[in-house]
């Protein structure tokens, strides 16, 4: 490995946690009656290290890349859709583009390894920006050998760290685009968690039953041919994609900077799984936005002991679920900051 993984410190602070819990408990409400919103407020305060957390300049980071394994028919869509959707993100027509505008979220799209060249452009104020960090025009086919070399994987991780260092704010929402990347998420989960492919492989972009069986057979070939790649970095290089590796770097850097990390669905969760196997304290900074409709995501969440905020049957990716969950984080901070206590409101607090 030719890059340095940042050390992610344990941010457990019993005193701060007790103060946050006290503030929440003495708001004008029955104890615990705001349910998981209170848990969310506690988490945000812990990440930002304050009793009065404020979320500033939130950033959606959508990483895009292509996969050689797509040629094996593991997706219902062709690889050309990757670059077409990147253009759609930048034009403002994709779901994540719409939701980013709605919620005032800055959107950055990174070409990490899209097969077709994407022309650089200057973004208008408030429009999505494009960053070109292409390691190669798509990975190799993981079903016949490693998808990336160790050097390529390390470069993608380094790119992700550098991108986050260049973004303002204290909250990072994760998104991705890459035809066949549900296959990569399934492969990483199977390898790192030791789970059978049958349990972690689903329809992705819409395969029928026969397509899912074909997909599983191809993925089994990828696991078999890369059987020696067992540690997190080697598994990522052998099985993963440039967008996933870039997200791993983004997560590590955001965690090192104590940003709140809002995790989207199956593929971004795979990046967090890898990052957490490299630096476990990454998970202390994460808020998991939703439980995907993709088979395997619940098992992946269980690996990280994560309880997502939403369960809407989403399986789009892009960061769409993270954007949908964003108002809940804002509400959690508003409750901490603005909701009256029993004492300040003159309300009786009988046990």
Q: What are the residue numbers of the active site?
A: 318
Residues contacting residue 126 through CB under 8 Å, at least 6 positions apart: none
Q: Hunting for tokens 């800055």 — which residue is that?
A: 106
Task: Pull the structure tokens for residue 41.
Answer: 């407020």
Separation CA 223–CA 273 (nearest Å):
18
| DSSP category for residue 310 | B
User: Phi/psi of residue 131, each to 5°?
Assistant: -115, 130
Bridge partners, 129 (sequence order): 108
Q: Where are the alpha helices (DSSP H) in the chain?
A: 14-25, 36-48, 80-91, 95-103, 150-165, 181-193, 197-200, 209-225, 232-239, 242-256, 266-278, 297-303, 320-338, 342-345
Instruction: Tell me if residue 290 falls in helix, strand or coil.
Output: strand
Q: Would you say 157 and 240 are in contact if contact means Cβ atoms under 8 Å apart?
A: no
Task: Pull the structure tokens for residue 315.
Answer: 């399986």
């Amino acid at each position: 490995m030719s890059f340095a993984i940042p050390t992610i410190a344990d941010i457990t602070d019993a005193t701060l946690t007790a103060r946050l819990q006290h503030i929440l408990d003495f708001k004008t409400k029955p104890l615990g009656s705001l349910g998981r919103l209170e848990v969310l407020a506690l988490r945000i305060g812990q990440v930002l290290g304050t009793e009065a957390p404020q979320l500033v300049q939130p950033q959606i980071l959508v990483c895009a890349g292509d996969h050689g394994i797509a040629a094996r028919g593991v997706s219902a869509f062709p690889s050309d859709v990757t670059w077409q959707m990147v253009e759609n993100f930048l034009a403002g027509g994709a779901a994540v583009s719409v939701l980013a505008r709605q919620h005032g979220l800055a959107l950055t799209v990174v070409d990490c390894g899209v097969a077709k060249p994407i022309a650089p452009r200057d973004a208008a104020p408030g429009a999505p920006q494009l960053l070109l960090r292409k390691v190669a025009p798509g990975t190799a086919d993981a079903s016949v050998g490693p998808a990336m070399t160790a050097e390529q994987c390390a470069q993608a991780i380094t790119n992700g760290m550098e991108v986050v260092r260049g973004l303002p704010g204290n909250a990072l929402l994760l998104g991705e685009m890459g035809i066949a990347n549900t296959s990569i998420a399934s492969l990483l989960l199977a390898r790192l968690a030791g789970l059978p492919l049958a349990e972690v492989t689903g329809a992705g972009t819409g395969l029928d039953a026969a397509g899912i069986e074909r997909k599983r057979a191809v993925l089994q070939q990828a696991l078999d041919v890369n059987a020696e790649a067992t540690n997190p970095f080697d598994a990522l290089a052998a099985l993963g994609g440039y967008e996933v590796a870039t997200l791993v770097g983004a997560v590590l850097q955001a965690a090192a900077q104590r940003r709140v990390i809002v995790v989207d669905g199956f593929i971004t969760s795979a990046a967090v799984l890898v990052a957490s196997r490299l630096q476990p304290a990454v998970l202390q900074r994460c808020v998991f936005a939703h439980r995907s409709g993709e088979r395997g995501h619940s098992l992946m969440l269980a690996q990280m002991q994560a309880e997502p905020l939403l369960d809407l049957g989403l399986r789009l990716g892009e960061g769409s679920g993270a954007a949908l969950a964003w108002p809940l984080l804002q509400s959690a901070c508003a409750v901490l900051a603005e909701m009256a206590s029993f004492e300040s409101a003159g309300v009786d607090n009988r046990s």
